[in-house]
Amino acid sequence: MFRRLFGADIWAAVPTRFMPIVREAFAETSGPVIDAACGRSNPYLGALGIQNTIGIDADPAVKNENTIHQTVIIQDLHEEIPLKNVGGIISVYTWEHLHSPEVVLKNFTNILQDGSMLVIIAPQKFYYVSLLSLMLPNTVQDLAWKIFKGRGRMPYPTYFRLCTKKTLCAVAKAHGLDVVKFEAFDAPPIWFARIPPLFLLLCGWMAIANYFPFLSPLRGTFIAVCRKKRHPF
C-alpha cells in the first residue's frame, strides 16, 4: 500500500533519505568507525562498505549474531569505552533508550579523533509515537508491541532525553562537539500498517509534516551529525 501511494519501500524510506548524509559524514574517515549499540545489523555501515568497524552492544548474544563487524565489544555505552583515536561513531535508534545520554556523549568525545564525526539517528521527542511511549504505562506499551510488532513485550525502556535539536545541540557543545547538521524526516507509520484506515490517515500526516518546515520538530526521525572540535594547537 505504501509503495503504491509514495513510490518507495516502507522499510527503506528512512535509510534512503539519510544515507547520503551518513556517506558524506564518513567520506574522509581515518581509523575505525564505531557502531554504538550495534545490534545484529546496521543498514548504513553495510551500505558504506567501511572495512574497519567495531560494534559495541550491551547484549552478549550480539557477539555471535552480528556478522558485519570484525570486533564486537560487550558493554553499556554509559561506561567508559576502552578505545581511543576512533575515526567515527554512528548510533542508530539507540539514543532514545539512553537514561543518561550526556554521559554517553562525554564517552564518545573522549575516544573520537579531533575533527571526526558522530552520527545519531533516533526518534524525536515530540513525535506522536514518542509522546505515546512517554505517557502510556508499561503494560499498555507491552500490549502495543504485541499487537503492532508481534513481540510479547516492549524490550527496552525509552526516555527521549536529548532527542530535540535544542537540547542535543546545547549538551553536545558543552562536551566539545559541534552539531554541523540536523535534519528531521517523518517516517512511514509502520506501527499502524495493520490498521488500514489509521495507516492512511497517518500517511497523510506524514506528507503534511514533511512538507511544512515549521512542523519539523514533530517529524518522526532525526539525524544529527556532530564534529569533535579540533584543538587550536
Asked if pLDDT for residue 38 goes beyond 90, the answer is yes
Which residue is it, cell 500517511?
Answer: 203
pLDDT score recorded for residue 7: 60
Q: Is the dihedral of CA 63, 74, 97, 103 positive or negative?
A: negative
Q: At residue 2, does pLDDT exceed 70?
A: no
Distance CA 188, CA 14 (A): 8
Q: What is the DSSP letter of 144?
A: H
User: pLDDT tens digits for 102-139?
Assistant: 999 999 999 999 999 999 999 999 999 899 888 877 77
Nearest residue to 96 via CA among 155, 170, 52, 48? 155
State the DSSP string of 44-85: HHHHHT-SSEEEEES-TTHHHH--S-SEEEE--TTSPPS--S
pLDDT tens-place string over residues 12-26: 888 889 999 999 999
Query: How far is residue 166's CA from residue 172's CA, in Å, rounded to a whole number?
Result: 10
- Mean pLDDT, rounded, for 204-231: 94
Asked if residue 80 has pLDDT above 80, the reply is yes
Sequence letter at residue 38: C
DSSP strand E in the chain: where?
33-36, 53-57, 71-74, 86-92, 112-123, 177-185, 221-228
Contact 66, 39 (CB under 8 A): yes
Query: 42 or 120: which carries more pLDDT confidence?
Result: 120
Which residues share a beta bridge with 86?
Answer: 112
- Between 67-76, 151-160, 198-207, the lowest mean confidence (pLDDT) is in 151-160
Interval 43-78: pLDDT, tens? 898 778 788 899 999 999 998 888 888 899 999 999
Residue 196's pLDDT is: 84
Per-residue pLDDT for 1 more than 60? Answer: no
SS3 21: helix
